[in-house]
Amino acid sequence: MFQYILVGFVGAISMLSICGFLFLKEGTKGLKAKAYKTKSGIVHTAEKSRERHIV
């Protein structure tokens, strides 16, 4: 009986995670969903923090 509950729980969690990947916006670090314009008139989609490279 316990194995059926466990399989059902794992199945429900996996279905929720699949739906989350399909329908929710991914967490893109430092990127804006909507483009914005700076004072100089340049259109950007990334935040200033994206210019710092790890290399």
Q: In the predicted model, is pLDDT for residue 10 greater than 80?
A: yes
3-state SS, 1-55, equals CHHHHHHHHHHHHHHHHHHHHHHCCCCCCCEEEEEEECCCCCEEEECHHHHCCCC
Percent of the chain with pLDDT over 70: 67
Q: In the predicted model, is pLDDT for residue 2 greater than 70?
A: yes
Q: What is the CA 47 to chain-centroid distance, rounded?
A: 16
- Taking the domains of the chain in order of start, what are their residue ranges? 2-51
Does the reported pTM lie above 0.75? no
State pLDDT tens for residues 44-53: 777 666 566 6
As beta bridge partners, residue 31 has 46
State pLDDT tens for residues 14-25: 999 999 888 876
Q: What is the pLDDT of residue 52?
A: 61
Contact 48, 38 (CB under 8 A): no
Rg of the chain over CA atoms, in angstroms? Answer: 20
